[in-house]
A and B are shown apart, each in its own frame.
Chain A
Amino acid sequence: MDNKFVVSSSPHIRHSESVQSVMTDVLIALFPVAVMAVLLFGYKALITMIISVVTAMLVEAVWLRKGNIFGDGSAAVTGLLFAMVLPPSPPWWLVVAGAASAIIIGKQVFGGIGYNIFNPALVGRAIVVVSWGGHMAGRIWSQPEPFNFMADISAVTTASPLAGQEEALAVSLTQLFVGNVAGCLGETSALALLLGGIWLYYKGHIDWRIPVGFIGVVFLMGVIFGGGFYSGHLLTGLFHVLAGGVMLGALFMATDMVTTPVTPAGKLIFGIGCGLITMLIRFWGTLPEGVTFAILIMNAVTPIIDRFTVPQQFGGVKKSA
C-alpha cells in the first residue's frame, strides 16, 4: 500500500459556505424588499432593478474578462443594492451610469472584491446624486400606488417625508413601517427590510452590533432633537428610524462585510458613528438625508477603528500603558 495522498495543513474539512453562497443569501434577503418595491411602485421599479443588476454584472464580467456573468454574486448584490437607493423610476441611462460607476469606481479600481474601501452601491449613489441632482433630490419622489403593477408613478410626485418637517407630519408611522410613502425604491418598507435583516442575522452574515448601534443612535437623537408634530415624544425617534434610508442603511449597507470593521467593538462603534453622522446631516446639514454619506465616512475610518479595537485575547491582561 504505497498510495500517495494529498498533504496539506489542517484543518482538512471546510464548511460548505462560500463567497457565492454568502452573496446568494444577501440576494435572498433582498427579495422581500424587491417584491415590496414592485407592489408599491409597480413595473417601473422592476425595470430599474433589472437594468441596475444586469449592468453591474456585465460591467464586472467585462472588467474581469470572465465568462461567468454571475461569478461570486457580489456584482449582482451591488447592482440590486444600488437600485434600492434610487428613485423608483429614474432615467435608464442614470441607472446604467450609476451601476457601472459602483462596480468600477466603487470596487474594481481598488482591486476588486475584498479590497474596496467604500460601499460600492453607495459610491454609485453618491456619484449620481452629485452628477444629476435634479433627478435624485427635491420634489421628484413618486408617490407609491400599492398593488397597481402598471402604475405610471412618475405622474404624481411628492417630497420624501424627511424633506420638510411640516410634510413629515402628514405621514403616519404605520404607513412608514409598511412603506407606503415616497422615497427610494427599496428604502421605504421597514417591514420588508426587517424580514431581510432577520434572514441575514439567522444565516450569521450580519452582526447585531452595527444595526443596533446605528438604529439606536438615530432613535435617541430623534427623541432628543427631533422637532415637528411628535416633538419631544418617543415617536419622533421612531419617525427618524422609519423615515428615509436608515433601515436600509443599517441592515444592508452598514453591514456590508468588506467595508466595515471585523472586530466586535469596532462594529458597535461603526454603527454608532453611522447613526451620529446621519442625524448630524439630517438636523444641521444641507441635505435632507444623511445615510449615504454617514456610511461612506465611516467606511473611510474603518481601518482605524479596526486598529484600535483589537479584542483582548483569551486569558490576556490589559496593558496599562
Chain B
Amino acid sequence: MGSMVFKGGVHPDYHKDLTAELAVSTMKAPSTVVIPLQQHIGAPCEPLEGIEEGARVKMGQKIADSSGFVSAPIHASVSGTIKKIGPYNHPLGRPVTAITIESDGLDEWDENVKAAGDIESLSVEELRKVIREAGIVGLGGATFPAHVKLSPPPEKKIDYVIINGAECEPYLTADHRVMLESPSDIVYGLKVMIKALGAEKGVIGIEDNKSDAIKALEEAVADEESITVARLHTKYPQGAEKMLIQVTTGRKVPSGGLPLEVGVVNHNVGTAVAITRAIREGKPLIERVVTVTGAGVNQPANLMVRVGTLVSEVLEACGGLKEDTRKLIAGGPMMGLAQPSADIPVIKGTSGILALTDLDVSITESSPCIRCAKCVDSCPVQLLPTSIAQAAENGLFKQADKLHAMDCFECGCCSYVCPSKIPLTQWIRIAKAEISKAKNK
C-alpha cells in the first residue's frame, strides 16, 4: 500500500530542515491569553454563566460552549482572572469575540480535569462525549469538530479510519515531531476512533520524506492487527483528504461529497494525540504544537503553545523577527492565511507561524495567460483553473460553476505553477463565493 499516486500536484521546496530536527519544546505560559470563541468550523460559542469580566477561572475549565451540534467548547488555557470579553483580531481575518485571561502564574487545573477511563471501560457514546467536552477539533488546520466526524449517521458504514500524517505543506514540521515523539498516543487515539466508529481498519498515512516517522509508527503498530502504516509519495497536496483517501484505500470521494460516503473518516495525527490526552488524562484541548519557522524567524522552533497565546509573544520566544520579514502567515505557505500583524492569538487550528522574507515573497505583476496548461496538469481534482479564472475575471460565474469551480479545495497548486503569475486560486475563490451567493438566494 502507499504505492498509488494521485494525479496532479506539485513539488515545492520543502524547507522542513529548518525545524525537522528540533524536538518540541514547551513555551512558557504567557501572562495573558486571548481566547477567541470561534476556533472551529460551525456555531460560535457563547461564554458560560459566571464567565464575565473579573471572574476567576482555572486551567482547563470550560468557559464557553454552544448548543449547536457542529461546534466545540472552549477552555481556559491558564488559571487566572478574566480581564475582558470583547472583539479581538482573529487569524481568519475578522475580529471575533474573545475572552482575555490574565494568568496568575499558578497553572492550577480545574477539578473537572481527570481521567475519564479508557477505551475498554468507556462506551461509544461516552467516548464521543469526552471528545466533545474536551473541545477537540481537527488540528491539521481545518478545525472541524472531532466528535462530529466520529458520529456519522447510523446508515453510513465506516470501515476505514485514516490518520493524516502526510504534512505535505512546506515548512511545517509540527505533525512530524508529534509522530516522532508520541507515536503510541497516536495509535491509542486511532483505536479510540476505530471503536467510536465501529470501523475495521486504521491506516496512518505518512509522506516518504519522513522515514523516521514512518519507522516510529511502524514500531508502534507492530502488535496491532488492524492498523497499518502507509508510506506515501511526497507530493503536495498529499495530505488533502481526497488525495489521502484515494492513495490509501483506492476510493474516490464523490464530487461535493464527504469521506464518510466512501466509508472513510480521517483525522490529523495531532487530533489523535489530543483525543488520547482527553481520554486518559481528562485534559481538554488547551495547547498545541506550532511550527514557528521561515527565513524571517531568528530561532525557528517547534513549540508547545497554549491556545490564546499572542503570535507576537510566540515570535519573541523564538528570538523575534528579522528586519526583512515581508509576510506573516498562520499555517503553511500553500494554504495558510497572511496576517497583517502579529497581534493575533494562536488558536486550535494554528499549525504553523511562518515568516517569509523579501527573497521568498516575489511579488510580481501577472501577465496574460499563455495557455501552457501547467495549472491543468497540477490540479489534483482535474479542473481547468485557467478557464475558471478567466470566467471569474469576466464575471461569468455560471460558466465557472459549469467548470466545477465548487470542486476546488484551494490547494494553491495552480497559482504556484503559473509562469504568468496569475493568482488563479484567488480568482477561483471569488468564483466560489459568487456561486454560493447565487445558490443561497
Query: A residues within 8 Å of B by Cβ?
Result: 1-15, 17-19, 21-22, 72, 74, 111-115, 204-205, 207, 257-264, 267, 306, 310-317
Q: Tell me whether B381 and A313 are in contact (CB under 8 A).
A: yes
Enumerate chain B residues within 8 angstroms of A10, measured Cβ to Cβ: 329, 333-338, 410, 412, 415, 425
Secondary structure call for the B interface = loop
Select from chain A the residue with minimum beta-carbon distance to B316: A1
User: Besides A114-B368, A314-B407, 8 other CB < 8 A contacts?
Assistant: A9-B425, A9-B426, A13-B356, A17-B419, A262-B373, A264-B376, A310-B403, A313-B381
Please determine whether B328 and A14 come into contact, CB atoms closer than 8 angstroms: no
Select from chain B the residue with minimum beta-carbon distance to A264.
Answer: B376
Chain B residues within 8 Å of A7, by CB: 327, 338-340
Contact partner, B373, options A8, A9, A257, A259, Cβ 8 Å: A257
A315 CB contacts on chain B under 8 angstroms: 242, 252-257, 381, 407
Is the pair A262, B336 in contact by a Cβ cutoff of 8 Å? Answer: no
Across the interface, do B384 and A113 meet the contact criterion of CB distance under 8 Å?
Answer: no
Partner of B367, one of A3, A19, A259: A19
- A6-B368 in contact (CB<8A): no
Pick from B325, B361, B421: contact of A18, CB below 8 A.
Answer: B421
Rounded to whole angstroms, the CA-CA distance of A316 and B257 in the bound complex is 10
Instruction: Choose from B252, B371, B380 the contact partner of A114 (Cβ within 8 Å).
Output: B371
In the complex, the number of residue pairs spanning A and B with C-beta atoms less than 8 Å apart equals 186
Nearest-neighbour CB distance to chain A for B244, whole angstroms, equals 13
B interface with A by C-beta (< 8 Å): 7, 10, 12-13, 170, 242, 252-257, 312, 315-316, 320-321, 325-329, 333-343, 354, 356, 360-364, 367-374, 376-377, 380-384, 386-387, 403-404, 407, 410, 412-413, 415-421, 423, 425-426, 429
B429 and A9 contact, CB distance less than 8 A: yes
Contact B333 A11 (CB under 8 A): yes
Which listed residue, A12, A113, A310, touches B338 by the CB 8 Å rule?
A: A12
Indicate which residue in A12, A259, A317 contacts B255 across the interface (CB closer than 8 Å).
A317
CB distance from B130 to the nearest CB of A (A): 33
Interface centre among B12, B252, B415 (most CB of A within 10 A): B415
A10–B170 Cα distance when bound, in Å, is: 13
When distances are taken between beta carbons in the complex, the residues of chain B under 8 Å from A13 are 12-13, 170, 333-334, 356, 360-361, 416
Supposing A3-B341, A12-B361 touch, asked if A263 and B326 sit within 8 A by C-beta, the answer is: no
Q: Among B13, B333, B381, point to the contact of A12 (Cβ < 8 A).
A: B333
Query: Would B242 and A314 count as touching, CB distance under 8 A?
Result: yes
Partner of B419 from the list A11, A22, A258, A264 (CB cut-off 8 Å) is A22
Residue of B nearest to A207 (CB): B373
- What B residues does A11 contact at CB under 8 A? 333-335, 412-413, 415-416, 425
What are 28 A-B contacts with C-beta separation under 8 Å? A5-B328, A5-B340, A6-B327, A10-B334, A10-B335, A11-B335, A11-B413, A11-B416, A12-B334, A12-B336, A13-B333, A15-B10, A17-B374, A111-B368, A112-B368, A113-B370, A114-B368, A114-B420, A115-B368, A257-B370, A257-B372, A306-B387, A313-B255, A314-B252, A314-B380, A314-B407, A315-B256, A317-B254
